[in-house]
A and B are shown apart, each in its own frame.
Chain A
Amino acid sequence: MAFNPRKFKKILIANRGEIACRIIWTCKEMGIKTVAVHSDVDRDSLHVRFADEAACIGPAPSAQSYLNIPAIISTAEIFNVDAIHPGYGFLAESPYFAEICEACNIKFIGPPANIIRLMGDKIEARRAMHEAGLPIVPGSPGGITSEEDGRKVAREIGYPVIVKASAGGGGRGMRIVRSEQELGKALETASTEAAAAFNDGSVYIERYIEQPRHIEIQVLADEYGECIHLGERECSIQRRHQKLMEEAPSTVLTPEMRKRMGDAAVAACKKLGYSSAGTCEFLLDVHGNFYFMEMNTRIQVEHPVTEMVTLADIVRNQIRIAEGEPLGYAQDDLLIVGHAIECRINAENPETFAPSPGTISAFNLPGGPGVRVDTFVYSGYQVTPFYDSLIAKVIVHARTRELAIARMKRALEAMVIEGIKTTVPLHLKIMDDPRFRAGDIGTDFMEYFLARNGRKAAAP
């Protein structure tokens, strides 16, 4: 087999915030020059400061800046970049963008466009992964064509069911339905929400798994057919289907289960011809059965917990793979050491979750053993309301889960961010919660936690 590696001299990062910084750090370590793109309000952002070159590509609204393909490609051409790293969100899962990069002879750091397209259609992804050998939750074979069709499918699957948007993600366009009377309205509202958010109102139905755990498997594949997994991440602590914290490894996975899930994910990816980094999301039920949910064909927000326990650098591997290097690892090389936890710190009120933009007046990062902080803010930085509210990720690594929790507590206590409200106090409370400490977490955890702490969780 002919390997065809070519080293990148310069990479453009088509993103902002903490992930743009994250990519720049690894590029620096690899001796690769970086180009940052930014909107006009992001001129003072950290990723702009630390890139070698930068260009303003548009005004604040994402559609005119970070989603503005002509502006990004134009910048890439002016600076003569070899490759573009899309990060997560924005254009990371746009097959159209991947194709344009290819047409302009710029390497898109990610899987091939046709795979991005396939995985972006949740109905088709389910079908393809099922054919590739992954178990899926019993559900409609395709999109729901009418209320009558939906009723028929739901009766076959058995209530409770969940209605989901085909083009969806991020928890939107989903409705849980416990009885046939609720089905019609649920189909309608889910479809409307999906049409508004994703420009595609098609929905499908799956059996709803009660109190599932959300376990995802990180995979890495090269362009020559080799693929391995890097173990799992437990992401069950979510509010409105948005992840708040993650950990690796999961408290419930035995080595045998890890092998079963990991091998299944790898086999499916190999069959599809996957390359670069990716994540297969599964639901785990109380009996230890796992079901494929969806695949994310990009690096994920929570990738650091995997990096801490495996010593892998996922960004570095993405770049190497895009350069045409063979993977170089065998599955047996995988070592999972200790326990890692990540808390996503958002610029939000920790009680109401209302966004809290503003100027950061005082800022201190925790340090010391086993602490990593991925952020892009600093003292004096102005957090704007235009983008995601994630401003930092605090990640800890320790020998055991108990030690990791103690480490996260003291790290959060030293995480000083003043001038805006953040969710640091919320995470501190979660660290003290008895269910959390016992590892008894499922996707119902936040509902239980907020009720216990006297607040209402928003309706799912």
Chain B
Amino acid sequence: MSAPKEQSETPNRRARTAPKPAASVNMEELRELIALLRDNGLAELELENEGFRVRLRRDSVAGPSYVGEVSLHAPAPAPVPAAPAPAPPPAAGPTHPGTHASTEASQDQDLHIIPSPIVGTFYRSPSPSADAFVKIGSNVEPETVVCIIEAMKLMNEIQAEASGEVVKIYVENGQPVEYGQPLFGIRS
């Protein structure tokens, strides 16, 4: 089977610039190259100089961390690809429990996000008539119970596992939540 011809429309376009007279590339030029890559929607760029070659490659797929820990930077829902990044076949995308919360939490980079450790229904108080465990402004310690997530008729108490002040609550009482979904934003 012969190799397919290089496609000119795919994101993996390579741009080669003409060799420059200078023998090395300085930081300023490197920054320009990076900007060139990004602003023109390139995935890869190679520059050859006398005695010098630089290749920049941008990972077009943003994904969650694979190191086995819960990702605190919740990935965007039904991913909207950046300009050249190849998009999967267009589809409306499913309804995820975490859609709105994830988008909001991804902007709160300075807060510690408490994610849901399980799938279930989120409740702010131990029972319908009781007060909420925490509210905006509450101070929490690692063992403070911040909410209940009900799964298969079991009420699981979720602990903060962080210290600080509750500044954001990303989900509503009675809302279904998925694994990893942001629940609270804590400012330490």
Contacts and interface: CB of A to CB of B under 8 A. Distances in A.
A143 interface: no
A428 interface: yes
B88 A54 contact: no
B94 A43 contact: no
Interface in B1-26: 1, 4, 7, 10-12
Contact of B66 (A57, A364, A384): A384
A198 interface: no
B79 interface: yes
B170 to A, nearest CB: 15
B149 to A, nearest CB: 9
Given A41-B66, A60-B66, A52 B85 contact: no
A432 interface: no
Contacts of A54: 94-96
B62 to A, nearest CB: 9
B63 A43 contact: yes
A102 interface: no
Interface in A21-77: 36, 40-41, 43-44, 46, 48-61, 65, 70-71, 73-75, 77
A406 interface: no
B23 to A, nearest CB: 33
Interface string A411-451: 01100101000001100100000000000000000000000
B56 interface: no
B41 to A, nearest CB: 14
A356 interface: no
A250 B97 CA distance: 47
A71 B79 CA distance: 24
Interface in B133-188: 151-152, 176, 178-181
A51 B93 CA distance: 7
Q: Give chain B's interface secondary structure class.
A: loop
A348 to B, nearest CB: 17
A2 interface: no
A412 B4 CA distance: 14
Contact of B1 (A44, A380, A425): A425
Contact of B95 (A53, A379, A412): A53
Contacts of A361: 10, 12
Contacts of A59: 68-70, 179-180
A57 B70 CA distance: 12
Contacts of B87: 380
Contact of A41 (B11, B12, B63, B85): B63
B68 A70 contact: no
B12 A56 contact: no
A74 B94 contact: no
Contacts of A50: 91, 94
A104 interface: yes
A73 B152 contact: yes
Nearest to B12: A361
A382 B64 CA distance: 11
B94 A362 contact: no
Contact of A61 (B12, B68, B81, B88): B68
A57 B10 CA distance: 33
B34 interface: no
B78 interface: yes
Interface of A: 36, 40-41, 43-44, 46, 48-61, 65, 70-71, 73-75, 77-79, 104, 359, 361-362, 364, 378-382, 384, 412-413, 416, 418, 424-425, 428
Top 3 nearest A-B pairs by Cβ distance? A380-B86, A54-B94, A74-B151
Given A43-B79, A361-B10, 12 more contacts: A52-B94, A55-B96, A55-B119, A56-B96, A57-B119, A73-B151, A73-B152, A361-B12, A379-B10, A380-B88, A381-B88, A425-B1
